[in-house]
Chains A and B, each alone.
Chain A
Amino acid sequence: MSSYQLNPELWSDDVPQEPIRAGFGRGLKAAGETNDKVVALCADLTDSTQMSLFKEAFPNRFIEMGIAEQNLVTVASGLARAGKVPFVSSYASFSPGRNWEQIRTTIALNNQPVKVVGSHAGISVGPDGATHQMLEDIAIMRVMPNMIVIAPGDSIEAEKATRAMAENNLPTYIRLAREKTPIFSTPDSPFEIGKAYVLRDGTDVTLMGTGTMTYQLLAAATSLAEQGIEAEVVHVPTVKPLDEETLLASIKKTGRAVSAEEAQIVGGLGGAVAELLGEKLPTPLKRLGMQDRFGESGKPDELIDYFGLTGAKIAETVAKFVHDTPQYHQQY
């Protein structure tokens, strides 16, 4: 049974909303207060990536890097060698988009606790279009040995995740969204790197979401319940390492699996779940997210709807999936 306390105002008309990156900004400042080794580096996007709070509080521990993402992460590697805990931020398209090899060699293989912060990830970036809508970051970071990959679901969780990664002493990637996202968690909700959380109990299908998609899955589950389908919703803020135990326990129970992400399903959460189920619990799986194509310009809501990722669209897809697909139970 889920013991996760959802925000009591979640389904009210004026549910609090905030960009996930705002929680990162608060978390980084808080991490800086408790750990004087924390330093922040930014590639000319200090306000956009919400590093400005840290910069105001600790001007001597903030380093402006200019528009130079390769140097951003490699300087951070050197700072980590000198005992610092560097957070490096840019848009996810550029970091880790442009500097993947530098991250691979000087941070992951070199095993330095640099924290790569990819802001403005996903199609909800909106009007800027495909170049700036990073969709491949989960895949390219997840494939890298030694790298932790986190995509918090709301701003409150982003704050907790940021504080946790400041102390984990490992190379870590965190993915942030630009637009306001409804807040489903509370300050008392649990967050631990590597843990997935059952937010809603169900028996017919397991819906697994990461980042902004978890809220949409909760909305979809509410609508599915009205049609007599009980969906279990599992929030997966850490894509790597995947909380296999929690996911397998849920899927064993429901016999059907759905993943959702604002990213390429190839190599993303969908890829990770497919790998897990293929090896350990073959189960029918529907992967929602970007289906091997780039995004395009539009309003964030418009794009989320077009790509079938609103609660309502997800509910439609899941209802059909449940209707067409027998549950696979315990025969393995």
Chain B
Amino acid sequence: MGGQLTISQLQQKANDIREDIISMLEAAGSGHSAGPLDLADILTALYFNIMNIDPKNPEWEDRDLFFLSNGHTIPVQYAAMAEAGYFDKEELLTLRKFGSRLQGHPERERLPGLENTSGPLGEGLSQAAGYAYSLQYLDNQLHRFVYVVMGDGELDEGNIWEAAMFAGKYKLSQLIAFVDRNNIQIDGSTEDVMPLEDLRGKWESFGWHVLEIDGHNIESIIDAVSTGRAITNRPTVIIAHTIPGKGVPFMEYDYHWHGVAPNSDQAKEALAKLRTLDGKIAHEGQGI
């Protein structure tokens, strides 16, 4: 896909994805709002700039890989995939409905383009690491990269740190992980529920190269990945600081929106806000 869109076009795409997310969740009547909205910029950067993929040939053998570890944020991946052309956008409105390929949590076999099945937390980093190990040690394919997105609350899981230790030991340099550092989980703030800090220090001590960025700045996301790809003796983790519910003011920073979908009035309000943002972003983006 690499690089056809300008930064302002990418920002517009992220906004389109946010609108898709709101419409999908409203139609579904259930699902998670905060995480998908705050991941829209990262997924946009991956699907529309960073990853070497072919939406019309999802099993293309030379593709880069995307693993979603916190499967409950799947609406953002479905929306990014539809926007990228993996399937028609109308199908987005089947999210969570009987017979849909867009299951409430992602199932690989149901939808071409998904690399894993996830939902139970803590398992995506391992799956991505397994693929990255194969590329680096078994297949000698050093030009392909494996991306994984984790939630921050998910880092409570021991499985994550088993995987972090494994990737550190084997110096899986083709593995680039994102932590969606939105500071919320179901029961409240991450630092109240189970403190994660010193998060940078934790990853560094496991042998990772750590970058911290504004997870809503698409240029920063692209730059960070570029740095990660250039580092060949360690895996890279990008701690992306995000605002839960980003783009919808009444959802932002509020952990109650972690696992709730907007009703039709709320969706109307959210879409109106996002559409206002359309013009603003397009205007700010001029000249980039």
Contacts and interface: CB of A to CB of B under 8 A. Distances in A.
Contacts of B131: 78-79, 81-82
Contacts of A77: 116, 123, 126-127, 130
A111 B127 contact: no
Nearest to A39: B138
Contact of A74 (B130, B137, B165): B130
Nearest to A74: B126
A101 B107 CA distance: 15
Given A74-B126, A105-B117, A65 B133 contact: no
Contacts of A39: 138
B138 A109 contact: no
B159 A102 contact: yes
Nearest to B67: A78
B108 interface: yes
Contact of B127 (A66, A81, A109): A81
A108 to B, nearest CB: 9
Contacts of B128: 78
A60 interface: yes
Interface string B162-182: 110110010000000000000
A68 B123 CA distance: 13
Nearest to B124: A74
Nearest to A63: B133
Nearest to B123: A74
B117 A109 contact: yes
Contacts of A105: 117-120, 123
Given A61-B138, A68-B165, A105-B123, A82 B159 contact: no
A325 interface: no
A101 to B, nearest CB: 6
B163 A74 contact: yes
A71 interface: yes
Contacts of B132: 78
B-side interface mostly: helix
Nearest to A107: B117
Nearest to B139: A82
A106 interface: yes
B129 interface: yes
A111 B129 CA distance: 18
Interface in A60-94: 60-61, 63, 65-66, 68, 70-71, 74-84, 86
B126 A75 contact: yes
A73 to B, nearest CB: 8
A71 B67 CA distance: 15
A65 B116 contact: no
A169 interface: no
A110 interface: yes
Interface string B122-154: 110011111111110111000000000000000
Interface residues of A, number: 28
Interface-central residue, B115, B123, B128, B132, by most chain A CB under 10 Å: B123
A75 B130 contact: yes
Given A60-B137, A71-B126, A111 B109 contact: yes
Contacts of B2: none
Nearest to A83: B134
B158 interface: yes
B1 to A, nearest CB: 21
A139 B163 CA distance: 28
B165 to A, nearest CB: 7
A63 B126 CA distance: 14
A20 to B, nearest CB: 28
B127 A106 contact: yes
Contacts of A111: 108-109
B117 A70 contact: no
A78 B120 contact: no
Contacts of B162: 66, 68, 70-71
B121 to A, nearest CB: 10
Contact of B107 (A66, A83, A109): A109
Contact of A68 (B130, B137, B166): B166
Contacts of B137: 60
Contacts of B169: 66
A34 to B, nearest CB: 17
- Of all A-B residue pairs in the complex, the 7 with the closest CB atoms, nearest first, are A78-B130, A74-B126, A71-B162, A82-B134, A110-B117, A75-B130, A78-B127
19 contacts: A39-B138, A66-B169, A70-B126, A70-B159, A71-B159, A71-B166, A74-B130, A75-B130, A75-B133, A75-B163, A77-B127, A78-B129, A78-B131, A81-B131, A82-B139, A106-B123, A106-B126, A110-B108, A110-B117
Given A63-B133, A71-B163, A78-B128, 11 more contacts: A70-B122, A70-B159, A70-B162, A71-B126, A74-B130, A75-B130, A81-B127, A82-B135, A82-B138, A84-B138, A106-B116
